[in-house]
Structure 1
Amino acid sequence: MTKPYQRPAADEPAWWFVISGGELLMTEERQIPHGFLEELPFPDLNDYTTVYIGELRERSCYLIIADFGDLNFSVVGEFLSVRELVIGSDDELFAMAARAKQIADFLPTHRYCGRCGARMQAVDWEIAMHCHTCQHRCYPRISPCIIVAIRKGRQILLARSKRHPKGQYSVLAGFVEAGEPLETTLAREVMEEAGIRIKNPRYVLSQSWPFPNSLMMGFLAEWESGDVRIDPFELEEGGWFDIDHLPLIPQPGTIANKLIMRLKAEIDQEKNRPI
């Protein structure tokens, strides 16, 4: 049984995920602090909420929740966006950092019961908040999303929104609605955002995306019918791009990049297949 609020042992090398204002503490080398607690220049952890969040490579992982603008960790490094870890393509480390960030968001936003308004208490054997007045219990929220790379011959459908960096295009994505199967979400989101129908959807992989609490489920699919009509309320522009002449796309390590590269590999394999 996991005890999330167990105290770290001084002689235990561990990973330390320190979160402040939604950002993650990283060393000058853009690494997560790792090592023995007594050897790290941390402040007294008795002044901080410290949560055991699991294991990574046979080492315990601890979340430390710091106040916004906390300078007590400045000797270790600086607080940066968790997105910095995506660049290194270390999926396991990014997943644990995503878990740390989501739990750090969850605990302070569930101090009071959403049902009766009473003060909630942390559960000491699992990561949850419990109301002893009405017995309501909350767990970290996860918002499921679909993300899909769609092909039409040797072309891929890409679009850009205002959230994307200038000149960057990505594949389509959207949130799953209550009571909705993923297949329905795929068809609905693609029709709403691009005005086309798809066929042969295939699940490929998933990725936690803690901005703030999404779980991205990635698919490949094929164009079936319709002309692309980009929804101006969701996207700025988009269309079909030749797989050999792609615009700027999301960075390696992101699920969007992985889906695009998977689709490109499949198309290239078809091209090189003997007739």
Structure 2
Amino acid sequence: MVKPDSRPGQDEPAWWFIISSGDILVVDDSHRLPCAAMQDLPLPDLTDYAVAFIGELRERPCYLVVADHQDPNFAAVGEFVNLRLLIAQQDEAMFAVAARAKQVAEFMLTHRFCGRCGVRMQAVDWEMAMQCQQCQHRCYPRISPCIIVAITRGDDILLARGKRHPAGLYSVLAGFVESGESLEQTLHREVLEEAGITVKNIQYVASQPWPFPHSLMMGFTAEWDSGDLHIDPIELEEGYWFPLTELPTIPPPGTIAHRLIAAVKKRHGVD
């Protein structure tokens, strides 16, 4: 982490990930992020803001700036939008750094005071951590592991609509890993709880950081093994077996859910 008074990116072009209440600042309607030297941007004095170096993107350093809620001091740079809008750009590298920025901002805001003794925490300047100088308790950004799985039965795929999904949008099943569980155990439990079925032939596909607020999605495919479909009304609105050739509205490209559905379609020879 870096201190605000170190003036990162003063003379060299840098990417600026400015986060406010979970939203991110973009410079235009195409949702481009600021990329310029500090002196070339109408940024406020960053001395009063939490700033952190969060890596590199396309050979440029990336800096997180944690702003206040819809901070008017950044109005001359751009506007704050929901981070999900960046998914539409289908720029996985950009979204990955933006996801890291949002998660680190959440970490910094929720660890200002020590959870053990209550004293104000201080940023560790050589790693991404917050430490209490009184009891030496050190915290790192939280990551919540989740499984997400595309389940097929013959040439059909199981898709469901969660309570938070927009009307008409269906996706694959997902759930958080509980203490003491392996990923495979989580997958079997979540599928049984949410759909009332058992699965077999589990295969890992890919993972994706999902900063809402700090998840790591680990994607799998699986095949139906037994049981009739019984959708959990607490977690889901509805769910059905859909032919792979007649899918409803699904999550957009750039999401791991879309990638899993595409992998299943390819495996079954469906365009």
Residue in structure 2 matched with residue 97 of structure 1 by the alignment: 98
Report percent identity of matched pairs: 62
* Aligned pairs for 1:1-275 within 5 A: 3-5=1-3, 6-28=6-28, 29-268=30-269
1:122, distance to aligned residue in structure 2 (A): 1.0
Contact 2:7 2:46 in 1 (8 A): no
Contact 1:4 1:126 in 2 (8 A): no
Query: Which AA in structure 1 matches 2:93?
Result: E
1:232, distance to aligned residue in structure 2 (A): 0.7
Deviates more, 1:67-76 or 1:233-242: 67-76
Q: Give me the TM-score of the superposition, normalised by structure 1.
A: 0.94
1:9, distance to aligned residue in structure 2 (A): 3.7
CA–CA separation in structure 2 for the residues paired with 1:124 and 1:76 = 27
Aligned residue-pair number: 268
1:10, distance to aligned residue in structure 2 (A): 2.0
The C-alpha deviation readout for 1:111-143, integer Å capped at 9, x for no partner, is 111112222111111111111222111001000
1:236, distance to aligned residue in structure 2 (A): 0.8
- Tell me, what secondary structure is at the counterpart of 2:141? coil
CA–CA separation in structure 1 for the residues paired with 2:55 and 2:254 = 22
CA–CA separation in structure 2 for the residues paired with 1:7 and 1:173 = 41
Query: Which AA in structure 1 matches 2:162?
Result: S
1:167, distance to aligned residue in structure 2 (A): 0.7
CA–CA separation in structure 2 for the residues paired with 1:242 and 1:167 = 16
Q: Can you give the 5+ residue segments of structure 1 that lack an aligned partner in the other structure? A: none
- Tell me, what secondary structure is at the counterpart of 1:98? helix
Contact 2:70 2:80 in 1 (8 A): no
CA–CA separation in structure 2 for the residues paired with 1:51 and 1:161 = 35
CA–CA separation in structure 2 for the residues paired with 1:119 and 1:259 = 43
- Tell me, what secondary structure is at the counterpart of 1:83? helix
Query: Which AA in structure 2 matches 1:84?
Result: L
The C-alpha deviation readout for 1:203-227, integer Å capped at 9, x for no partner, is 1011111111100000011111111
- The ranges of structure 1 where at least 4 consecutive aligned residues each deviate by more than 2 angstroms after the TM superposition are 3-7
- Tell me, what secondary structure is at the counterpart of 2:269? helix
Q: Give me the TM-score of the superposition, normalised by structure 2.
A: 0.96
CA–CA separation in structure 1 for the residues paired with 2:240 and 2:136 = 51
CA–CA separation in structure 2 for the residues paired with 1:191 and 1:10 = 54
CA–CA separation in structure 2 for the residues paired with 1:193 and 1:156 = 15
Query: Which AA in structure 2 matches 1:238?
Result: G
Contact 1:4 1:127 in 2 (8 A): no
Q: Can you give the 5+ residue segments of structure 2 that lack an aligned partner in the other structure? A: none
1:47, distance to aligned residue in structure 2 (A): 2.5
RMSD, matched Cα: 1.3
Contact 1:22 1:101 in 2 (8 A): yes
- Tell me, what secondary structure is at the counterpart of 1:72? helix
The C-alpha deviation readout for 1:95-121, integer Å capped at 9, x for no partner, is 100100111111121111111222211
